[in-house]
Amino acid sequence: MQKHYIVGTAGHIDHGKTTLSKALTGKDTDRLKEEKQRNISIELGFAPFTLPNGDQVSLIDVPGHEKFVRHMVAGVGGIDLVLLVIAADEGVMPQTEEHLNIIQLLGIEHGIVVLTKKDLVDEEFIELVEEDIRELLSKTSLKNAPILSVSSKNNEGIEVLKKTIQEELSKIPERSSTGFLRMPIDRVFTLKGIGTVVTGTVYSGIIHVGDELEILPSNFKVRVRSLQVHSESVETAYAGQRVAVNIAGVELEDIQRGDSLVTINQWEPSNRVDIELHILEDLDFPLKQNNKIKFHVGTSEVLGSIVLYDRKEAVAGETIYCQVKLEESIISSRKERFIIRRPSPATTIAGGIIIDPNADKHKFRKETVDHLKQISKGTLKDLIYQQLLHNSQIFLTSSELSNILTLPEKEISEAIQTLIEEEKIVAFTNSKPILYSSHFHLENLQQRITKYLLDYHQEFPLRTGVTKAEFLSIFTPQLKPKLAQNILSFWESQQFIKINEEFISAYDFAPQLPSELQKVANQIEELLINQGFAPEDWDDIALKYSLSQKDKLELYNFLLSQNKIVKLTDKIVIHFKIFLQAKELITAYLMKEKQLTLQEAKEILQVSRKYLIPLMEAMDREKVTVLRQGQNYRELRKVN
């Protein structure tokens, strides 16, 4: 199967990168008029060529002039192999070293050093230059890179270079097309009769003709009209390919370099990223708290500032864990490489790996750094576990984890299963969708709940429990009601809590009257039974027995929860036994007469309207009777 690779050039201005690209591809990658006039590359140039084995290569010719290093960062960021171009007649120059630093910081491990313009010097001089290069590369990721000398002018050494490129690329695993689509945009233009076109390297995922996608952070929904790879129309483009995408739904002026073409609803722009930062060895000044920097990732270049958590400054050669606060939002991925440059004078100062592309604001303490260090080294399984440990939400679904980590739900689910088997997380399988929580968080939460309920029962020993609404607002505020109910059901099945209609209590709790109140309760019950269908107001009863305001309310709720009394109004209650008597009288009458007016009910119960109306409404609430709308009578409620 034909493979696709991205190869980029790097090196000092006027060392022959563009001429070399033309020799390899047969195409001139200088496409701007200004580039032709000034004889330098300002923008990224792109051209395809085919290796001897048939594999396809997209060659990115990046500018070498110091002012255009930002374009070089955008080009090198997505490549598989770098060609470090050095003119044989000049050797290593300032931008050679800066580009090499960027290659290092971007973690590019595969490269070839190409000595151009060999026709201008003799073999002895080339050997001297090669010695200098080997010394320069000795402590870098390119220390074992092949060094080839070529003459792009007469094509000497070009075929050998192509074969060497093929050999080096064969050592590199092909990029996986799994994951959600992300293509950082490096060019935007319009073509007559076609419309808006964006180009870039597909970092992850797959693009199909007809796909509905979005452009972030500009936030536009678009549809893919057509695709081109190597100037040929295709139906599908994969990770690792350079693609031209004709899109509908957006105008040229709405998009800019630095935007990304992405899968809808799977990426979130962010202006904070947690990072592992490697400071250059030869940096001659410290990196301090809140230092202004330029942050380069993908094709984005955004101003920002450094946020240090366990120090006031960092010095040359250090690796630190910190955050970058950006002035504009970007789209980036976990473990993606980036470069940091000083705004003025414009120099590369550091680079590294993104730990969290959608970071929160953290506390200034050593524990924050320890946490960042831990997740920076983690596998997918570790990332999921750390997310469940440190996310503000205790319960997450696999879909939510998928969105947070920008990875397909299938990959997330496989790692989750391993964590369940290792007893690191708990799955609430009675919930749809399934909710997950770490054992650590769940135990802490259950300890908090246990203490809360014990304190509550101690303060309110007569209450059935805390209301479900209050409980959920305290312990599961982020969950939708149905999911929260699933959590409660799980806990009840584990005999952790008890649910009694709309109340929640500790599983082994039962309301119990203190001895002094039990005596009063017995007396009140006896009084209510004796008073029948026309009892005193509750306020008067409480006053008669000298109940405090708290005891008056607590005893009222207790007797209600124990079905000792039935509420007629806010001030009137009758004993449950009396209510049953009324129910029997009314039911017996309706079984015989079928219909009941208020006047007939009054004659049966022998009470005034003060008690009659609320008593009959209580019958309706208890589903004994039903009032016919628009009619002045009640009937027995039919039982299905």
Give residue 63's pLDDT.
60
Residue-level pLDDT at 38: 40
Q: Which of 40-44, 55-59, 159-163, 436-440 has the lowest mean pLDDT?
A: 40-44
Residue 244 burial class via C-beta count within 10 angstroms: exposed 0-12, middle 13-18, buried 19 and up? buried
pLDDT digits (tens, 9 = 90+) for 497-532: 999 888 999 999 888 787 788 899 899 999 999 999
Q: Which residue has the tokens 């073999």?
A: 123
pLDDT at 640 over 70: no
Report the C-alpha dihedral over residues 571, 577, 581, 582, rounded to 10 degrees.
20
Domains of the chain: 4-169 (3.40.50.300), 182-263 (2.40.30.10), 270-373 (2.40.30.10), 515-636 (1.10.10.10)
In the structure, what pLDDT confidence band is assigned to residue 282 with cuts at 50, 70 and 90? confident
- Distance, C-alpha 15 to centroid of its chain: 44
Task: Identify the DSSP state of 357.
Answer: T
* Average confidence (pLDDT) over 133-148: 91
576, pLDDT greater than 90: yes
Residue 42's pLDDT band, with cuts at 50, 70 and 90, is very low
pLDDT tier at 75 (50, 70, 90 boundaries)? low
Task: Find tokens 């120099």 and name the residue.
Answer: 347
* Rounded mean pLDDT, 125-134: 91
Q: Mean pLDDT over all residues of the chain?
A: 86
pLDDT band, residue 585 (cuts 50/70/90): very high
Reading the block at residue 294, the tokens are 């330029």
CA distances from 145 to 124, 140, 548, 594 (A): 21, 10, 88, 100
Residue 550 pLDDT: 85
The pLDDT value given to residue 203: 87
Per the CB < 8 A criterion, the answer to whether 330 and 271 are in contact is: yes
pLDDT higher than 50, residue 89: yes
> Beta strands 182-191 and 220-229: pairing type?
unpaired
> CA 281, 283, 286, 292 torsion: positive or negative?
negative
pLDDT the model gives residue 36: 42
Q: What is the pLDDT of residues 373-382, one digit of tens each?
A: 888 887 888 8
Q: What is the pLDDT of residue 37?
A: 45
Residue 565: the pLDDT is 92
Residue 83 confidence (pLDDT): 92
pLDDT digits over 392-407, tens only? 788 888 888 887 787 7
Percentage above 70 pLDDT, the chain? 93
Question: What's the pLDDT at 34?
Answer: 41
In this predicted structure, the answer to whether residue 33 has a pLDDT above a threshold of 50 is: no
**For residues 145-163, average pLDDT:** 90
**pLDDT value of position 628:** 81
pLDDT band per the 50, 70, 90 thresholds, residue 429: confident
pLDDT at 69: 57
For residues 321 and 309, give the distance between their C-alpha atoms in angstroms, rounded to a whole number: 8
428, 395 in Cβ contact below 8 A?
Answer: yes
pLDDT in tens, 617-637: 999 998 899 888 767 889 898
Is the pLDDT reported for residue 53 higher than 60? yes
Do residues 384 and 400 touch, judged by C-beta distance below 8 A? no
pTM for the full model? 0.68
